[in-house]
Amino acid sequence: MAKPLEVLLLDDEPIVGRRLRPALDKIGCCVEVFEDPEKAVARIDEKEFDIVVTDIRMEGLDGLQVMAHVQKTWPRTKVIMITGYAKIDLAREAMGKGVFDFIAKPFRPDDLRKIIYKAAEALGIPMESSSSGSGPGPVEH
Amino acid sequence: MSIIIISADTGEIEEIIAQKVAETMGFTTLDHHILAEVASAHGIDPDQLDEALKTTPSLFKKMTAKQWRYALSCLEAEVLDRLLKDNIVCHGVAAHLYVTGVSHAMKVRILKGKNRVIKEIVQHRGLSLEKTERCCAAELEQRKKWSMAAYGFDETDLSQYDLVINLDQIDPEEAVRTIAGAAEYRKFQVMTYSMKCLSDLALAARVNTVLLDSMTDINVQSHDGSVVVTAKASNRQKRERIALIKEMAGKVDGVRYVEVHVK
């Protein structure tokens, strides 16, 4: 059996973690959810995650600062940003600083799953449903 | 993986630079060659479509404002649809004015300058230096007016572009290398968000085209298959207009929900 993909999910809105954790569990990810960026960063110091999914706007540390910390600590880790305040400037800034992908809220869990499959492929970690490279089909509202 | 949209002070420069950038990067070009296809697909006279890209209805009396708006909308929808394919150098179809908010679309403006390149234009057009300069200035002024009328942007406003190159200072070969190099920056690469922005623009343009075929004063916004249409109608026609828009927009491929606001 393939090693599960280790994912840290950080968003200060509890609903995001509650909604996304089962969606990622379902595709074989091992997910740790955080609402406090300081606690997430402390956990990142202890453990190398394959993927960090982080909100951008949060109290205390913002997503770009979290990404800088991840890049310094674990350069191999892929960072995916999710935000409700997406604009072209922010998207370009995040991309320029090395984010793996950037997605605007609201999105469907399947949208994130597709990005997770792409990140797993880039990491060379095989995932069963990503063998075709396209991930699962669209999920209706 | 990105889109490069090139706009220049003159069409000659635009075409030369765009083709060289496409060759250098192995990208395909998207330019005025699609006009004939767009015209044929939408039953528009190709010359009228070409004219719609150059003049406003007040200057071109043979085309009404409604026809002008419809012709531009058909072109916009087709260009946006093709841009979804990526790795494209686009010029000559006004894309710099309607591809907005898409982070992987790098917009470049080429300034002809006053010395080096103008001499080549003089040769190309077979006019005197003075006459060529006058023509270029008039063309620039006309483009400015046209862009304001068509899309509410002044295309000569350099703050709209990601990269501005003055050919007095950078020669065309260097300009091509500069553009190709900048297009490789991570910030201009495709991401899920930017593809979504482009898909939303493309869907809104398709709906707009369908509605403009029989209506005027329409504004269409799209987000993830949901479309919001703003239209004008008298109180008496309001209900009918809403129903008609919902029916027409609902038939467009990719539309899942239609909301209509009639003022």
pLDDT of residue A75: 97
List the domain range (segments joined by +) for residue A91: 5-123
Does B191 contact A95 at a Cβ distance shorter than 8 Å? yes
Judging contacts by C-beta atoms under 8 Å, the chain A residues touching residue B256 are 141
Q: What is the pLDDT along chain A (141 residues), one digit of tens a residue?
A: 568 899 999 999 999 999 999 999 999 999 999 999 999 999 999 999 999 999 999 999 999 999 999 999 999 999 999 999 999 999 999 999 999 999 999 899 999 999 999 999 999 998 866 443 433 333 222
Per-residue pLDDT reduced to its tens digit, A107-116: 999 999 999 9
pLDDT of residue B160: 93
Chain A positions with Cβ closer than 8 Å to B = 86-88, 91-93, 95-96, 98-99, 101-104, 111, 114-115, 141
Q: Which two tokens stand for residue B74?
A: 């058909």
Task: Provide long-range contacts, Cβ within 8 A and 24+ apart, for A111-114.
Answer: A111/B192, A112/A20, A112/A23, A112/A24, A112/A53, A112/A80, A112/A82, A113/A23, A113/A24, A113/A27, A114/B192
Judging contacts by C-beta atoms under 8 Å, the chain B residues touching residue A91 are 103, 191, 193-194
Judging contacts by C-beta atoms under 8 Å, the chain A residues touching residue B255 are none
Judging contacts by C-beta atoms under 8 Å, the chain B residues touching residue A101 are 191-192
Interchain CB contact of B194 with A (< 8 Å):
yes
pLDDT of residue B10: 86
Domain count, chain A: 1
Per-residue pLDDT reduced to its tens digit, B70-117: 999 999 999 999 999 879 999 999 999 999 999 999 999 999 877 777
The CATH number for B3-188, chosen from 3.40.50.2000, 3.40.50.300, 3.30.70.270, 3.40.50.170, is: 3.40.50.300
pLDDT of residue A132: 39
Does A102 contact B191 at a Cβ distance shorter than 8 Å? yes
pLDDT of residue A129: 60
* CA end-to-end distance (rounded Å), chain A: 32
Does B103 contact A88 at a Cβ distance shorter than 8 Å? yes
pLDDT of residue B155: 93
pLDDT of residue A14: 94
Does A91 contact B196 at a Cβ distance shorter than 8 Å? no
Size of interface A-B (CB pairs under 8 A): 42
- What does each C-alpha distance from A104 to A45, B191, B224 come to in angstroms? 27, 11, 11
Phi, psi of A17 (to 5 degrees): -65, -40
CA distance B192 to B200: 12
Q: Quickly count: other Cβ atoms within 10 Å of residue B210's Cβ.
A: 20
Does A141 contact B192 at a Cβ distance shorter than 8 Å? no
Location of each CATH 3.30.1340.30 domain in chain B: 192-262
Does A101 contact B188 at a Cβ distance shorter than 8 Å? no
Residue A104: closest C-alpha in chain B: B193
Per-residue pLDDT reduced to its tens digit, A112-136: 999 999 999 999 998 866 443 433 3
A133 lies in some domain: no
Q: Tell me which DSSP letter residue A74 carries.
A: -
Tell me which fold the domain B192-262 belongs to: Histidine-containing Protein; Chain: A; (3.30.1340)
Q: How many CA atoms lie within 13 A of B212 on its CB side?
A: 25
CA distance B23 to B26: 5
Location of each CATH 3.40.50.300 domain in chain B: 3-188
For an interface test with A, the pick among B192, B222, B255 (most A C-beta atoms closer than 10 Å) comes out as B192
Does A104 contact B193 at a Cβ distance shorter than 8 Å? yes
Q: Which of residues 131-170 of B touch A (CB under 8 A)?
A: none
- Could you say which residues of chain B have pLDDT below 70? 1, 58-61
pTM (predicted TM-score): 0.90
Interchain CB contact of B2 with A (< 8 Å):
no
* B252 Cα to chain A: minimum distance (Å): 18
CATH number, residue A58: 3.40.50.2300
Does A98 contact B102 at a Cβ distance shorter than 8 Å? no
pLDDT of residue B263: 83
Does B186 contact A96 at a Cβ distance shorter than 8 Å? yes
